């Protein structure tokens, strides 16, 4: 839940801090004092687009800071929130709460912070939207859009798993269809590409290059080009190390004699030197052996150089066409084989792809039908429950309906999804269904689409009724209503206050209202009031007497009159007795 919000230089508010408790909190105040700026601040914490014109005149930036407690949300949501915090390096405060902050600069970009870390606004939104549900007059307008109506029904029906399965199948089906269409349209082009790849692969396979063979060839060619010089150097070194000559002993033989002479001595120091010479003699003997191997490995046929040069020319033909070196040529060949495997333009390959598209289409069609069944079943229950809620909101004769129909497609549309019944349907990202909310204010009236049949006040009550019903699936969420009671008065206003209080039993509810009947049901009453110079506004928590005065002002602007206060006290007492 939201425990505290602090606002600086936002609209009419200079500096204001408001603390929130569980239950129902109302914000009231004169028009123009900045009540809606509190909701605007929450929208900013929710990741809404920052509007520099909201920065208070004379200030460089506006700042909104909110403190959230997550103790009331379920374990699954808590785990998801912890994962978000960990991903961006954010930390909880000492009391376990999380501080979210958004600053809006008059000149320059806005900034978002979560748990003491700078984060993108999207990350801040991902966190706060798990805890905040914001509803205002704009939400009433959104409620008239078909996609919003479908979304509300899906929340109630918990269509998540079925919708996810449908979307995965739809992605696979669309991908296979695009591949099939591409192959059909580009058969000649793809066939030519396949021929070019086959020719290149045949050329590479004929040469049969080996990894790093070009580097090895360079070393071999250098060695063969200096064959006589290398043979003479190795032979001379071997002879000097291993054999006697007219000029004296070879190195190995001389070292052997030196070791023998020292080993026969009784002095320990000389015997130690004999051991050193023995080690050196071993190295010399090994070197003699390696020189012999080197000489044996030198080619005796002068044509070996020509063979190596010819092989190098073959490899250079490949590196000139396909890559900078042989390893690159081998990689290009592998990638070309993979590409060639995808370029099956044969009749058999095309038929196999057509079968895959058909199979995926059948699976998708069944998944779409399964999703529709869930929605149709939930639509009846949701419509019944919302109608019952409307009855409690002084609309006992109202009738609320939810229609779920198949979004048909032209039978000749090649992109149409053919359902198991044979009916063509448009496979949208959210299914094949069109969802329409219908409404009739009185029995006997024709049920018309919500956008055409509900007045502003009726629409407010429909949205509130819908939220009350949907609230069961979002326990622990803070629900914020910004003047959703617009256009309502009298007994209907009392019923809205009662329903908001009922909703506050399982949720933290924050309401910006101009109706005293609604404010009377609050557990906490905050007032946004003008203070200080230049029209600055602040937020103050009302005690019982101040609350009576504020309700009297809201009733008839008679905050200081005895009659107005008496009427306000009567309204407050009635609301409290109603809640008891």
φ, ψ of residue 196 in degrees (nearest 5) = -65, -40
Residues 218 and 116 in one domain: no
Query: Are 112 and 214 members of one domain?
Result: no
In a domain, 361, yes or no: no
The whole-chain average pLDDT of the chain stands at 84
Per-residue pLDDT at 265 exceeds 80: no
d(CA 525, CA 541): 6
My answer on whether 20 and 117 are in the same domain is yes
Give yes or no for residue 289 having a pLDDT over 90: no
User: What is the pLDDT at residue 387?
Assistant: 92
d(CA 94, CA 82): 15
For 272, the domain range is 208-342
Total domains, the chain: 2
Same domain, residue pair 118 and 216:
no
- Give yes or no: residues 231 and 337 share one domain: yes
Q: How far apart are CA 424 and CA 274, in angstroms?
A: 99
Q: Write down the pLDDT at residue 476.
A: 62
Quick one: average pLDDT of 507-531?
Answer: 88
Q: Has residue 223 been placed in a domain?
A: yes
Q: Is the pLDDT of residue 245 over 60?
A: no
| Section 37-64 average pLDDT | 86
Q: Cα 466 vs. chain centroid, distance in angstroms?
A: 28
Average pLDDT (39-46) is: 86
Is 531 a residue whose pLDDT tops 70?
A: no
Residue 232 has a pLDDT of: 75
- Residue 449 pLDDT level (bands cut at 50, 70, 90): confident
pLDDT tier for residue 559 given thresholds of 50, 70 and 90:
low
For residue 392, report the phi and psi dihedrals to the nearest 5 degrees.
Answer: -80, -5
Written as six digits, the tokens of 409 are: 């497609």
Tell which of 311, 342, 373 closes a domain.
Answer: 342
Query: Would 138 be classed as within a structural domain?
Result: no
Is position 580 within any domain?
Answer: no
| Residue 460 counted as domain residue | no
**Looking at the structure, do residues 127 and 231 belong to the same domain, yes or no?**
no
Identify whether residues 221 and 109 lie together within a single domain: no
Closest by CA to 93, choosing from 73, 112, 67, 71, is 67
Domain boundary among 295, 313, 342: 342
Least confident of 71-75, 275-279, 384-388, 548-552: 71-75
Quick check: 439 and 400 in contact, CB under 8 A? yes
| Whether pLDDT at 549 is above 90 | no
Helices (H) and strands (E) in the chain, counts: 20, 17
Q: How far is CA 288 from the centre of its chain?
A: 68
pLDDT digits (tens, 9 = 90+) for 166-182: 999 999 999 999 888 88
pTM recorded for the entire structure? 0.62
Calculate what percentage of the chain has a pLDDT beyond 90.
24
Residue, of 163 and 531, whose pLDDT is higher: 163
Confidence grade of residue 402 (pLDDT, cut at 50, 70, 90): very high
Residue 455 has pLDDT above 80, yes or no: no
For residues 213 and 319, state if they share a domain: yes
Looking at the fold, whether 224 and 332 belong to one and the same domain comes out as yes
The pLDDT value given to residue 300? 64
Alpha carbon distances (Å) from 384 to 155, 249, 389, 469, 506? 16, 115, 9, 10, 22
Who has greater pLDDT, 296 or 438?
438
Q: How confident is the model at residue 49 (pLDDT cuts 50, 70, 90)?
A: confident
Cα–Cα distance between 395 and 488 in angstroms, integer?
12
**Once rounded to an integer, what is the mean pLDDT over residues 48-66?**
87
Residues 218 and 333 occupy one common structural domain = yes
Q: Are residues 115 and 225 in the same domain?
A: no
Check which CATH number belongs to the domain holding 535 and give it. Answer: 3.40.50.300
Q: Mapping DSSP to helix (H, G, I), strand (E, B) and coil, where does residue 408 land?
A: strand
Per-residue pLDDT averaged across 265-274, rounded?
A: 79
Q: Which residue has the higher pLDDT, 379 or 309?
A: 379
Residue 428 lies in a domain: no
* pLDDT given at position 139: 64
Last residue of a domain, one of 317, 342, 367: 342
Find the mean pLDDT for residues 559-563: 71
Does 398 reside within a domain?
no
Closest to 571 measured CA to CA, from 461, 507, 563, 393: 563
State the Cα–Cα distance between residues 541 and 180, nearest whole angstrom. 66
In a domain? residue 324 = yes
Same domain, 334 and 215: yes
Look at residue 474 in the predicted model and tell me its pLDDT: 59
Q: How confident is the model at residue 220 (pLDDT cuts 50, 70, 90)?
A: confident
- As a whole number of angstroms, the distance between CA 178 and CA 176 comes to 5
Provide the H-helix boundaries in 88-186: 121-128, 137-142, 146-157, 160-185
């Amino acid at each position: 839940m939201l425990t505290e919000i602090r606002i600086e230089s936002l609209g009419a508010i200079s500096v204001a801090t408001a603390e929130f408790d569980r239950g129902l909190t109302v914000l009231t105040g004169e028009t123009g004092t900045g009540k809606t700026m509190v909701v605007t601040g929450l929208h900013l914490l929710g990741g809404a687009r920052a509007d520099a014109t909201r920065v208070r005149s004379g200030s460089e930036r506006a700042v909104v800071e909110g403190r959230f407690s997550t103790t009331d949300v379920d374990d699954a949501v808590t785990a998801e929130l912890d994962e978000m915090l960990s991903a961006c390096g954010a930390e909880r405060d000492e009391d376990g709460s999380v501080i979210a902050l958004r600053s809006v600069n008059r000149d320059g970009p806005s900034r978002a912070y979560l748990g003491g870390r700078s984060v993108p606004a999207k990350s801040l939104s991902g966190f706060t939207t798990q805890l905040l549900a914001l509803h205002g007059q704009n939400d009433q307008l959104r409620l008239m859009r078909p996609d919003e109506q479908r979304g509300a029904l899906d929340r109630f029906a918990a269509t998540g798993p079925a919708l996810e399965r449908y979307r995965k199948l739809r992605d696979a089906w669309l991908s296979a269809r695009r591949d099939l269409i591409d192959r059909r349209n580009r058969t000649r082009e793809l066939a030519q590409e396949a021929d070019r790849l086959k020719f290149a692969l045949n050329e590479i396979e004929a040469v049969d290059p080996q990894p790093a063979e070009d580097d090895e060839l360079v070393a071999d060619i250098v060695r063969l080009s200096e064959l006589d010089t290398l043979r003479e150097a190795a032979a001379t070194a071997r002879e000097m190390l291993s054999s006697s000559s007219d000029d004296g002993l070879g190195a190995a033989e001389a070292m052997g004699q030196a070791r023998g002479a020292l080993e026969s001595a009784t002095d320990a120091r000389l015997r130690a030197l004999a051991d050193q010479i023995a080690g050196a003699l071993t190295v010399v003997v090994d070197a003699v052996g390696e020189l012999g191997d080197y000489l044996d490995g030198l080619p005796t046929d002068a044509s070996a150089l020509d063979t190596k040069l010819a092989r190098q020319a073959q490899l250079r033909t490949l590196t000139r066409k396909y890559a900078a070196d042989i390893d690159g040529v081998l990689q290009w060949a592998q990638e070309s084989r993979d590409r060639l495997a995808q370029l099956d333009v044969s009749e058999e390959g095309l038929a196999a792809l057509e079968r895959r598209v058909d199979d995926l289409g059948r699976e998708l069609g069944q998944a779409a039908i399964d999703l529709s069944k869930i929605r149709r079943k939930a639509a009846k229950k949701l419509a019944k429950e919302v109608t019952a809620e409307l009855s409690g909101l002084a609309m006992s004769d109202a009738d609320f309906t939810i229609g779920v129909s198949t979004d048909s497609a032209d039978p000749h549309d090649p992109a149409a999804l053919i359902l198991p019944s044979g009916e063509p349907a448009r496979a949208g990202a959210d299914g094949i269904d069109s969802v329409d909310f219908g409404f009739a204010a009185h029995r006997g009236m024709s049920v018309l689409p919500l956008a055409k049949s509900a007045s502003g006040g009726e629409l407010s009550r429909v949205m509130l009724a819908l939220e009350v019903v949907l609230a069961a699936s979002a326990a622990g969420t803070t629900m914020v209503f910004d003047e959703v009671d617009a256009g309502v008065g009298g007994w209907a206003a009392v019923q809205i206050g009662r329903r908001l209080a009922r909703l506050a039993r399982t949720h933290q509810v924050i309401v910006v209202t101009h109706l005293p009947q609604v404010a009377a049901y609050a557990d906490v009453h905050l007032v946004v009031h003008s203070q200080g110079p230049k029209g600055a506004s602040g937020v103050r928590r009302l005690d019982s007497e101040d609350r009576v005065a504020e309700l009297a002002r809201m009733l008839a602007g008679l905050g200081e009159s005895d009659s107005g206060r008496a009427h306000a006290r009567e309204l407050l007492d009635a609301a409290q007795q109603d809640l008891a």
